[in-house]
């Protein structure tokens, strides 16, 4: 259902407030540059700093601006099951094509707790759900066996896999019929080579057309062409994580004149040393003179 290059959209701010006009501009930019789908209010969208009202309005603005032209997979996760349920209900009401739910962070639930968390939401809200596994940020990894159990629930359709472990993807695909999307830009080609269907991408905020080309060639089985984009994108992908995401991607967009680079505390501006490194990466890619 979900495939190709799906951008984990940044949330633009202006003087401390969400910049809804800029959100619309970014949506149009992605549609023009062959992005397959948009994730508003994910980790890259600084969802942890958004109020419920802001979160729901951002999702609504993205859905209305997209107007059915590409897919919208709304960020709706929380470490509080009732909060995740509220956000998932809103995603459906707003008209999103699906909801992306991160594994509950900090609580460190058992495999059974993870299963019950997702099951409760999936049974309550009839919307396609994609699990998001990112143990480096949540402190817990969902086991392939738990994913296989959840895949038996009809509307749990995918997993964004950001464990950095190709074995994990292989095991998931051996155990069940679920869509796997890469959650690590630098691992998109390897994950798609073993059966993944695309990526939920940070770097697509900067180079959407190239990210879309990589996934398109992989889906077509043209891995020689995909590999060229993989090697081209690789340094830029790594550059997006020289500091905590989304600091580098917002800084890159500022350097390219697409965004003011504003973030909300506890995130702050990039160090000058790392900003200079990022400038070098952007220049080597051909994005800056």
Provide the token pair at 137. Answer: 């940020």
Helix (H) or strand (E) holding 196, with range, is: none
CA 105 to chain centre: 16
DSSP E strands: which ranges in the chain?
4-8, 13-14, 17-18, 37-39, 71-75, 98-102, 129-133, 156-161, 179-182, 198-201
Residues marked active site are found at 132, 160
CA nearest neighbour of 187 among 124, 230, 226:
230
The neighbour count for residue 76, using CB atoms within 10 Å, is 32
Pairing of strands 13-14, 17-18: antiparallel
What single-letter DSSP state applies at residue 25? H
Which value, in Å, is the radius of gyration of the alpha carbons in the chain? 18
């Amino acid at each position: 259902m979900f495939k190709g290059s799906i951008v984990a959209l940044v949330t633009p701010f202006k003087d401390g407030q969400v910049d809804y006009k800029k959100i619309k501009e970014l949506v149009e930019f992605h549609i023009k540059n062959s992005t397959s789908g948009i994730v508003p209010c994910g980790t890259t969208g600084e969802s942890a700093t958004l109020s419920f009202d802001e979160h729901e309005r951002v999702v609504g603005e993205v859905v209305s601006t997209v107007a059915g032209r590409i897919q919208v997979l709304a960020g709706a996760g929380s470490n509080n099951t009732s909060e995740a349920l509220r956000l998932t209900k809103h995603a459906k009401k707003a008209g999103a094509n699906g909801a992306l739910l991160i594994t509950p962070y900090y609580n460190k639930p058992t495999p059974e707790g993870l299963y019950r968390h997702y099951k409760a939401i999936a049974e309550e809200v009839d919307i396609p759900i994609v699990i998001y596994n990112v143990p480096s940020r949540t402190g817990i990894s969902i086991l392939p066996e738990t994913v296989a159990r959840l895949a038996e629930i009809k509307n749990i359709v995918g997993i964004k896999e950001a464990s950095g472990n190709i074995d994990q993807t292989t095991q998931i695909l051996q155990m069940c019929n679920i869509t796997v999307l890469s959650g690590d830009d630098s691992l998109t080609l390897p994950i798609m080579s073993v059966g993944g269907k695309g990526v939920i991408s940070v770097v697509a905020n900067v180079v959407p057309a190239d990210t879309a080309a990589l996934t398109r060639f992989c889906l077509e089985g043209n891995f020689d062409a995909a590999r060229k984009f993989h090697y081209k994108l690789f340094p830029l992908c790594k550059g997006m994580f020289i500091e905590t995401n989304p600091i580098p991607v917002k800084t890159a967009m500022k350097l390219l004149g697409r965004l003011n680079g504003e973030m909300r505390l506890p995130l702050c501006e990039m160090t000058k040393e790392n900003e200079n490194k990022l400038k070098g990466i952007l220049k080597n890619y051909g994005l800056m003179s």
